[in-house]
Amino acid sequence: MKTYHKSELAKLADVSYSTFYRFLKNRRTELNAMGINPNAQTFRGDGLKYICKEYNINLPEEEPEVKKHIKFR
C-alpha cells in the first residue's frame, strides 16, 4: 500500500491542511490506540484505512508497477 503525506490526504479530502490537522488531533486517542502517531507526516496501512474511512476519502487506484527495461543483448 502506498504511503500518503498529510498534505496529500487533505487535498483528497478537499479541506485545508489545518482543518485536516484538527481532525487528526480530535481523533488522537483512536490513532494512539492503533499505535499511530497523529503528528506523523505520512500514513499507511491500518492508520491510512482508518483515516480514509472516518473522513470519507477515496484514494486513487494504485499506479501499476513499472517494468524495467530489458537489454536487447
Q: What is the DSSP string of the chain?
A: ---EEHHHHHHHHTS-HHHHHHHHHHTHHHHHHTT--TT-SEE-HHHHHHHHHHHT--PPPPPPPPPPPPP--
**C-alpha cell recorded at residue 30:** 483512536
This prediction has a pTM of 0.75
User: pLDDT per residue over 34-70, tens digit each?
Assistant: 888 888 899 988 888 999 998 889 888 765 566 677 7
Dihedral sign from CA coordinates of 9, 3, 56, 22: negative
Instruction: Return the pLDDT at 16.
Output: 94
Dist. CA 42–CA 62, nearest whole Å = 17
Instruction: Return the pLDDT at 36.
Output: 87
pLDDT band at 10 (very low <50, low <70, confident <90, very high): very high
